[in-house]
Amino acid sequence: MFFTEQIELLQSSGNLGAGLQILFALIIAHVLFDYPLQGDFLAKYKNRHCKGDETNPPLLWVHCLTAHSLMHAGAVWAITGSVIIGLIELVLHWIIDFLKCEGITNIHSDQALHILCRIGYVIAMALCCNSVEP
Confidence grade of residue 93 (pLDDT, cut at 50, 70, 90): very high
In 3D, which of 20, 22, 45, 43 has the Cα closest to residue 33?
43
pTM of the entire predicted model: 0.83
Please state the domain extents for the chain.
4-127
- CA 92 centroid distance within chain: 7
* pLDDT surpassing 70 at residue 123: yes
Angle at 88 between CA 87 and CA 90, to 5 degrees: 60
* pLDDT surpassing 80 at residue 129: no
Under 8 Å between Cβ of 117 and 76: no
**Core vs surface per residue 84-121: b (16+ CB within 10 A) or e:** bbbebbbebbbebbbebbeeebeeeebbebbeebbeeb
pLDDT score at 97:
96
* pLDDT surpassing 70 at residue 12: no
**Which range scores top for mean pLDDT: 6-10, 13-17, 51-55?**
51-55
pLDDT score at 132:
43
* pLDDT surpassing 50 at residue 107: yes
Least confident range of 10-19, 29-38, 60-69, 106-115: 10-19
